[in-house]
Chain A
């Protein structure tokens, strides 16, 4: 695959290295000449010196034949514009933007970027159990089918504890596929499975149903039906 990356800081540098190791064709766009020199010394001539939001620079990088476009500079606005230019001007099928401010996630998705990576959210997801207000963890997204695979931990206080799976009215298009118990013991969920405190539910669902599922399995305060 041909992958264009914007931003040759720490993230960009190690990303390029990893992708080259997997035998992908990679171009890295970086505006800072010092960073470019370091990349050239260590990784060879895979860089383009310039502004990754600039149409002429992206043209020079052959962006129109890129399979994936990834913007990982430290500034959210630069990553947004770079990805939008790649998507709308060069028709790159898949764009990935790094975001620093997690609230930008909604805006970037609304503007049609495929994926956002937020290091803040990644850390939050790892300590999710300790932060009761944090929503469910998205494991994988399939934007084309509008389906997410999500993971949700059942807190001990949840009214779902002790109930069978078939006693819940799940929103349309939601399947509970796996239940993971202590020590990563996974089992396929059937309608007879009883939910226990501390269980991890792995579910396939539509993104707009996630808020409802979170409420249903953590506080039991299901949102009124017209919202599902």
Chain B
């Protein structure tokens, strides 16, 4: 299964390495080469520098063969745009988008995006820790 991860921050790198160790074909993209330092030397996937909201670059990264696209850069808007681009223009079957802002994540969920709000999830977990 081909997975493209947009954003090689702490989350993206961690996710890419996890999926790679489980045998998925991973392409991880980021606009800053420095972020690829987060990948361990045994990472067997592909790391590509470029703009994840750019159609031509996404084509080069193999978006037309991708089964899953995950947008986890630090910018909500960037993730929202690339996820919608990949979903509506390239018709990738599964697109997941991380959005920090709880209000925005609610809105985009109603617009049909598969949204993960790390803020909401973490707040929920922390609340349970505090109240238990």
A residues touching B (Cβ–Cβ < 8 Å)? 53-56, 75-78, 80-81, 84-85, 88-89, 101, 103-104, 106-107, 110-111
Contacts and interface: CB of A to CB of B under 8 A. Distances in A.
Nearest to B84: A111
B53 interface: yes
Contacts of B82: 77
A88 B89 contact: no
B80 A55 contact: no
Nearest to B101: A54
B88 to A, nearest CB: 5
Interface of B: 53-56, 75-78, 80-82, 84-85, 88-89, 101, 103-104, 107, 110-111
Contact of A76 (B53, B88, B110, B111): B53
A97 B110 CA distance: 22
A108 to B, nearest CB: 10
**Main SS class of interface, A:** helix
A88 B53 CA distance: 22
Contact of B76 (A81, A88, A89, A101): A81
A77 B80 contact: yes
Given A53-B104, A106-B89, A111-B88, A78 B77 contact: yes
Contact of A107 (B75, B88, B101, B103): B88
B104 to A, nearest CB: 7
Nearest to A103: B55
Contacts of A89: 107
Given A54-B101, A106-B89, A107-B88, A88 B111 contact: yes
A81 B84 CA distance: 11
A80 B80 CA distance: 9
Contacts of B111: 84, 88
